[in-house]
A and B are shown apart, each in its own frame.
Chain A
Amino acid sequence: MKTAQAGTLESSDIMITLSPQEPGDGVKIDIDSNVLHQYGEAIQAVIASTLAEAGVKDVWVKAVDRGALDYTIKARLLTALDRARRAA
C-alpha cells in the first residue's frame, strides 16, 4: 500500500488522503470539516467502519470534508483504498 488520495474540495465532496502506517500502529483519522460540530462523529464512524469492512488495520486517514453525505465519504474512501493498493 502506498499513499493515495481521492475526492475534491468542492461543496458536498470530501478529499481523503490515505498514508500507510507500520504494522501495529492502528487506524488514525484526522477530520477537517465545515460541519465538524454537527457531523464529526458521523464522519469518523463511516470512515472507521468502511476501513474495518475492507480489513485495513494500519493507516492514517486525513479527511478534508466539505459537507459530503455518508455515501460520498464511503465512495471517496474506497477509491483512495483502490488507488493505494494499486500503487503498491
Chain B
Amino acid sequence: MMINAIGREIPEVVEGYGPVKSFAGAFATPPGMQRQAPAVKAARPGDSKLLDGLEEVFRRIPVRDGMTLSFHHHFRNGDGVVNQVLATAARLGIKNLKVALSSVFPVHAPLVEHFKTGVVTALDTNYMSGPVAEAVSRGVLAQPVVLRTHGGRARAIECGQLKIDVAFIAAPAADPCGNINGVTGPTACGSLGYAFPDAEYADHVVAVTDHLEAYPLSPVSIPQTRVDYVVKIERIGDPKGIVSGTTRITKDPVQLKIADTAAKVIEAAGLIRDGFSFQTGAGGASLAVAHFVRQMMKKARITGSFALGGITGHLVEMLEEGLFKKIIDVQGFDLEAVRSIASNPNHLEVSAGFYASPFNAGCAVNQLDCVILGATEIDTDFNVNVVTGSDGVIMGGSGGHSDAAAGAGLTIVVANLLRGRLPIIMDKVLTATTPGETIDVLVTEWGVAVNPRRAELREQLLAAGLPVKEIGELKAIAEKMAGKPKEVPLGSRIVAVVEYRDGTVLDVVRQAK
C-alpha cells in the first residue's frame, strides 16, 4: 500500500489494472512520453467504404477476441450504437472485448449481459450510471473498470495508454466517403467533440449512421481522411434520449438560493468584468448560476469572452445577447445548442483534448475564469466525490469535473448541505474524484466555505458580506440537523480505479455489498 498526495491508501499494483502511478498533485506529474501513432493507411480511386451492415464491418476489419472497441456518448441515454455493435459481437461469438465508451447510461443495460457471458470483460469510461454502474459496483467484472476524466481519456488515447482497435462512431450525418457531422439528421446532437481522439488514433474507424447524405457532406466534423468504413443501419439512436427540448432552470427555492449565492461569490471575486469566461453544468443549481450571472453581466454592461463545456440553450442565449463573444462546445445538451452550433460561426466545436487534456500544448479549461461544479460528497480537505453514492454504488464519474476544476481560476462547488438526510460534508469522502487543491469555494444554502489555500479570496467574500464559514462549521450544522451518518460497509475487492487526468491514481472503488 502507498499513500498518495491526498492521503488515499492505494495498492502498488491493482490486479487487472497493473502497477499504480500514485497521484502526486494536480500539476506534479510531467508527461515524459511520445504521442501514439496509428497505422498509416491508403485508399485508391474506386474504393468503396460503404458496407452492408455491422456484421460485414466485423468481418472486413476483422474484429477479434480481446480487441478494444471505442464509442462516444454524445447520444447519452438515447444511444443505439453501442448495444447494436455489441449484440453483433455476441452473435459472432467474439469474447474478451474491452469497451472504451466515454460515458455509460441506463440505456446501455445490455452490457451487463455481455459482461456475464464474457463478450465484454473490460470497461474504460469517464462516467457511468444505471444498471451497468450498479453491476460493476457489485463486482460483475473480474477486471477493475478504469474511470477517467474527459481530458484524461483524450490524453490516454493520444499518449497510447488507451489503445483503440476499432472506433465505432455514431454519426448523425455521414457521406459515403466517411465525412461526419453531428448537426443534421434525425439524431442531431451538436458537437462530436468526444469522438475526435478516437477518430484520430484508432487503428480502424467506422462511421455508423442512419442518415447518409450525398458526397461531400458539410460541415465536416470528422473528415473522410480518418474514416475507414461507413455503415448505414436503420436507427442509431432515439432523439428523445439525446437532447431535451429546452433545459429548464430549477424552481427549487433552496437550489436557487445556492445559485444566487454562487453568483455573488463570482461577483465578489471581481470576475464580472469584460473578458469573463465561464463554464457551468446543466443540472440543478449549476444552470441557475448561469441565470444569475447573466443578470449581473447585463447590469454591469460587460462582454464576456467565452462559455465552455457542455452547452445549454441558456448559454446560447447569452452568446446571442452579446454577453459572450464565443462558445467553445465539446458537447451540446439541448436543441438550442444544436441549432446554434450549426448556424453561428462564433459557436466552436472542439475535441475532448482541446477542451481538457492536461498533456498537450494547452487546453481550453486553462483559460477559464470560473467553473461551477456539483458534488455528491466533499470532505474537510475539499476533496470531492462525484463517483459513488452514499451506499458505495457507482452513480457517476468525473467527466469534466476534475479537468475544469484544475484549469479554472475560480472553482466553485454548489451543493445542498443535506442531500435528503445525508450531510454533503464528510471527514473523508468515500471516493476521491477531484483533489481538494483544485476546489476554491463550496457554496451551500447554509453558508459558503473557502479553501484555506485561498486566503485572499476569503477576504473578498467577507468584504462583500457573504456568509463565509469554516467548512468544519458547515459540517457541524449538517450533523446537528441530520445526525452523523454511519459508515457504509464495503467489500475489499477493487471494482474501479479512479485515474486523475494525468493518469496517476487518485483512488480506488471497492465492491459494494
State the A residues within 8 Å of B (CB): 11-12, 34-35, 37-42, 66-70
- The answer, among A34, A41, A42, for a CB contact under 8 Å with B420, is A34
Contact between B481 and A38, CB atoms less than 8 A apart: no
B421 within 8 A of A: yes
Contact between B483 and A35, CB atoms less than 8 A apart: no
User: Which partner residue on chain A sits nearest B423 by CB separation?
Assistant: A38
Cα–Cα distance between A11 and B488 once the two chains are bound (Å): 21
Contact between A12 and B486, CB atoms less than 8 A apart: no
Contact between B421 and A68, CB atoms less than 8 A apart: yes
Cα–Cα distance between A66 and B421 once the two chains are bound (Å): 8
Contact between A12 and B390, CB atoms less than 8 A apart: no
Asked, given contacts A37-B488, A39-B486, A41-B486, whether A67 binds B481 with beta carbons under 8 Å apart, the answer is no
Query: Sorted from nearest, which 7 A-B pairs have the closest CB atoms?
Result: A67-B420, A38-B485, A67-B421, A37-B488, A38-B486, A35-B421, A42-B483
User: Which partner residue on chain B sits nearest A71 by CB separation?
Assistant: B481
Contact between B486 and A37, CB atoms less than 8 A apart: yes
Asked, given contacts A69-B481, A69-B482, A70-B483, whether A37 binds B391 with beta carbons under 8 Å apart, the answer is yes
Chain A positions within 8 Å of B489 at CB level: 37
Contact between A66 and B420, CB atoms less than 8 A apart: yes
User: Which partner residue on chain A sits nearest B483 by CB separation?
Assistant: A42
Chain B positions within 8 Å of A35 at CB level: 390, 420-422, 485
Cα–Cα distance between A70 and B418 once the two chains are bound (Å): 14
Cα–Cα distance between A40 and B421 once the two chains are bound (Å): 12
Cα–Cα distance between A37 and B421 once the two chains are bound (Å): 12
State the B residues within 8 Å of A (CB): 390-391, 418, 420-422, 481-483, 485-489
Chain B positions within 8 Å of A11 at CB level: 420
User: Which partner residue on chain A sits nearest B420 by CB separation?
Assistant: A67
Chain B positions within 8 Å of A69 at CB level: 421, 481-482
User: Which partner residue on chain B sits nearest A36 by CB separation?
Assistant: B391
Cα–Cα distance between A31 and B207 once the two chains are bound (Å): 51
User: Which partner residue on chain B sits nearest A46 by CB separation?
Assistant: B483
Chain B positions within 8 Å of A41 at CB level: 486
Chain B positions within 8 Å of A34 at CB level: 420
Chain A positions within 8 Å of B487 at CB level: 38
How far in angstroms is the closest Cβ of chain B from A19?
26
- Selected A-B contacts with CB under 8 Å, 27 pairs: A11-B420, A12-B420, A12-B421, A34-B420, A35-B390, A35-B420, A35-B485, A37-B390, A37-B391, A37-B486, A37-B488, A37-B489, A38-B390, A38-B421, A38-B485, A38-B486, A38-B487, A39-B482, A39-B485, A39-B486, A41-B486, A42-B483, A67-B418, A67-B421, A67-B422, A68-B421, A70-B483
Cα–Cα distance between A2 and B483 once the two chains are bound (Å): 33
* Most interface-central of B418, B421, B481, B485 (chain A CB within 10 A): B421
How far in angstroms is the closest Cβ of chain A from B395?
13
10 new A-B contacts, CB < 8 A, other than A37-B390, A38-B422, A66-B420, are A35-B422, A37-B391, A38-B421, A38-B486, A39-B486, A40-B486, A67-B420, A67-B421, A67-B422, A70-B483
How far in angstroms is the closest Cβ of chain B from A39?
6
User: Which partner residue on chain B sits nearest A42 by CB separation?
Assistant: B483
User: Which partner residue on chain A sits nearest B488 by CB separation?
Assistant: A37
Cα–Cα distance between A4 and B450 once the two chains are bound (Å): 48
Contact between A39 and B391, CB atoms less than 8 A apart: no
User: Which partner residue on chain A sits nearest B489 by CB separation?
Assistant: A37
Chain A positions within 8 Å of B483 at CB level: 39, 42, 70
Cα–Cα distance between A11 and B421 once the two chains are bound (Å): 9
How far in angstroms is the closest Cβ of chain B from A63?
13
Chain A positions within 8 Å of B422 at CB level: 35, 38, 67
How far in angstroms is the closest Cβ of chain A from B376?
14
How far in angstroms is the closest Cβ of chain A from B158?
41
Chain B positions within 8 Å of A37 at CB level: 390-391, 486, 488-489
* Most interface-central of A37, A67, A70 (chain B CB within 10 A): A37
Cα–Cα distance between A12 and B421 once the two chains are bound (Å): 7
Chain A positions within 8 Å of B420 at CB level: 11-12, 34-35, 66-67
Cα–Cα distance between A40 and B488 once the two chains are bound (Å): 11
User: Which partner residue on chain B sits nearest A41 by CB separation?
Assistant: B486
Chain B positions within 8 Å of A68 at CB level: 421
